[in-house]
């Protein structure tokens, strides 16, 4: 159950980020709106007891600190790329962990 | 299934029921892709069949256009230098994949909305290849009704642009 919640939360957050990236080059607020949702979901993580101790989300929060995502589109795009990279690294890490556990 | 029937009855499936696709069927689908026409017989394509659940989950996360719990996916890549003809070749191959899957009772959907760089990173695709299309595969849960298609009289001209072909006027859909 905990693992399922962990995966679902990770997936939802990452999908939200990818929606934001999808609209990054459009002249609309869509990308910004999705980044806002992304931040709100990230705040939610701290309130979910099963996820509270997951350090991965702190890493994302640290990336978001003091970034001008509200006013600067280029900065926002750069940040989105950096966040995506962190997600993929984390997924690779988790996958390695799972497969080495299965090989025991 | 007869080819014309397959063309007419294929739908983009975005809702799947659970069930793994036998490898033998996927091989048949990929064979159909292999036999697609290719300009100058260059065959500038390669296919990544994703059936590992964790990898598929991540591919889906990075593809906003990917709907439904598909059992698997095929990522179509073309050589970077292949240009427009490469895209055409991949289009021919994609249609073969969609039709072959349908003929085998497998639903599919072509997905162009995905984060290319993320997919490259997840599937470790080298720089000389570009992922250009993802095709989801699975057993259809809901089959959508036929979508509207413009009548032939609206999209076909005879001998020169703008000249109507009377044979097509007032023709009802078959």
In this structure, the answer to whether residues B112 and B162 fall within a common structural domain is no
Confidence (pLDDT) at B1: 79
Predicted local distance difference test score (pLDDT) of residue B12: 96
What three-state secondary structure class fits B46?
strand
Instruction: Report d(CA B29, CA B121) in Å as an integer.
Output: 25
Looking at the structure of chain B, the number of domains it has is 2
B92 and B174 housed in the same domain: no
Tell me which chain A residue has its CA closest to the CA of residue B52: A95
Expressed as residue numbers, the domain containing B54 is 3-143
Q: For residue B130, which phi and psi values (nearest 5 degrees)?
A: -115, 120
pLDDT score for A91: 95
pLDDT tens digits along A10-58 = 999 999 999 999 999 888 889 999 999 999 999 999 999 988 888 999 9
Minimum CA–CA partner of B119 in chain A? A88
Predicted TM-score (pTM) of this structure: 0.91
Scanning every residue of chain B, which has its alpha carbon at the shortest distance from the alpha carbon of A21? B115
Task: With CB atoms and an 8 Å threshold, state whether B118 touches A88.
Answer: yes
Task: Answer yes or no: are the C-beta atoms of A32 and A70 closer than 8 Å.
Answer: yes
| Sign of the Cα pseudo-torsion (B12, B14, B18, B20, in order) | positive
> B84-90: which pairs have CB atoms within 8 A and are 24 or more residues apart?
B85/B39, B85/B40, B85/B42, B85/B44, B86/B42, B86/B44, B86/B45, B87/B132, B88/B39, B89/B36, B89/B37, B89/B38, B89/B39, B89/B42, B89/B43, B89/B44, B89/B45, B90/B45, B90/B132, B90/B133
Do B124 and B159 fall within a single domain? Answer: no
**Chain B CA closest to residue A86:** B118
> Chain-wide mean pLDDT for chain B?
96
CB contact under 8 A, B118 and A11: no
3-class SS of residue B134: strand
Across the interface, whether the CB atoms of A22 and B57 are under 8 A apart is answered no
Residue A87 to residue A82: CA distance in whole angstroms: 9
Task: Tell me: pLDDT of B42 over 90.
Answer: yes
Query: Which among B54, B63, B121 has the least Cβ separation from residue A88?
Result: B121
At A101 the pLDDT is 67
* Model pLDDT, residue B37: 98
∠ at Cα A68 (A63, A70), nearest 5°?
A: 115
Q: Are residues B16 and B75 in the same domain?
A: yes
| B115 and B39 both lie in a single domain | yes
> pLDDT tens digit string along B82-103?
999 999 999 999 999 999 999 9
Contact between residue B36 and residue B86 where contact means Cβ atoms under 8 Å apart: no
What three-state secondary structure class fits B117?
helix
For residue B61, list chain A residues with Cβ-Cβ distance below 8 A: 11, 14-15, 18
pLDDT of A65 over the 90 cut: no
Q: How far is B56 from chain A (nearest CA, A)?
A: 12
Chain B interface residues facing chain A, Cβ-Cβ under 8 Å? 54-55, 57-58, 60-64, 113, 115, 117-118, 121-122
- Report d(CA B37, CA A31) in Å as an integer: 39
Mean pLDDT score of chain A, rounded to an integer?
89
Give how many domains chain A has, as a whole number.
Answer: 1
Give yes or no: residues B26 and B58 share one domain. yes
Q: Which residues pair with B135 in a beta bridge?
A: B74, B110
How far does A97 lie from chain B, in Å, by closest CA?
12
ipTM of the assembly?
A: 0.86
pLDDT tens, position by position, A40-50: 999 999 999 98
**CATH code for the domain in which residue B21 is found:** 3.40.109.10
Indicate if B87 and B158 belong to the same structural domain.
no
Q: Is there a contact between B54 and A98 if contact means CB atoms under 8 Å apart? A: yes
Shared-domain flag, residues B119 and B162: no
Contact B139, B107 (CB under 8 A): yes
Asked if A21 is an interface residue toward chain B (Cβ–Cβ < 8 A), one would say: yes
**Looking at the partner chain, which of A15, A22, A98 has a beta carbon nearest the beta carbon of B113?**
A22
Q: Do B62 and A95 touch (CB under 8 A)?
A: no
Q: Which of B113, B111, B151, B160 is nearest to B13 (CA)?
A: B111
Whether residues B86 and B164 share a domain: the answer is: no
pLDDT digits (tens, 9 = 90+) for B123-169: 999 999 999 999 999 999 989 999 999 999 999 999 999 999 999 98
User: Residue A15 is part of which domain span?
Assistant: 2-102
**Is A61 in contact with A44 (CB distance < 8 Å)?**
no
Same-domain status, B53 and B133: yes
Contact B58 A91 (CB under 8 A): yes
Chain A residue with Cα closest to B62: A18
Contacts of B144 (CB under 8 A, 6+ apart): B11, B12, B13, B14
Interface test with B, best of A7, A8, A14 (most B CBs within 10 A): A14
């Amino acid at each position: 159950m905990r693992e399922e919640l962990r995966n679902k939360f990770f997936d939802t957050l990452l999908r939200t980020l990818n929606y934001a990236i999808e609209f990054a080059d459009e002249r609309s607020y869509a990308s910004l709106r999705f980044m806002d949702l992304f931040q709100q979901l990230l705040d939610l993580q701290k309130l979910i007891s099963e996820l509270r101790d997951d350090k991965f989300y702190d890493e994302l929060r640290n990336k978001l600190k003091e970034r001008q995502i509200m006013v600067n589109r280029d900065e926002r795009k750069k940040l989105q790329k950096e966040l995506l990279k962190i997600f993929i690294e984390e997924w690779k890490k988790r996958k390695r962990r799972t497969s080495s556990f299965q090989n025991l | 299934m007869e080819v014309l029937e397959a063309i007419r009855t294929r739908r983009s499936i975005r809702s799947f029921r659970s069930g793994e696709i036998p490898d033998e069927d996927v091989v048949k689908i990929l064979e159909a892709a292999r036999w697609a026409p290719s300009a100058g017989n260059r065959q500038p394509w390669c296919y990544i069949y994703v059936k590992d659940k964790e990898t598929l989950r991540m591919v889906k996360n990075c593809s906003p256009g990917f709907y439904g719990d598909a059992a698997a996916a095929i990522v179509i890549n073309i050589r970077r230098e292949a240009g427009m003809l490469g895209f055409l070749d991949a289009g021919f191959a994609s249609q073969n994949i969609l039709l072959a899957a349908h003929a085998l009772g497998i639903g599919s959907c072509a997905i162009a909305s995905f984060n290319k760089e993320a997919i490259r990173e997840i599937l470790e695709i080298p720089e000389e290849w570009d992922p250009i299309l993802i095709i989801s595969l699975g057993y259809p849960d809901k089959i959508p009704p036929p979508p509207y298609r413009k009548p032939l009289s609206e999209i076909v001209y005879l001998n020169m642009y703008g000249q109507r072909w009377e044979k097509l006027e007032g023709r009802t859909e078959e």
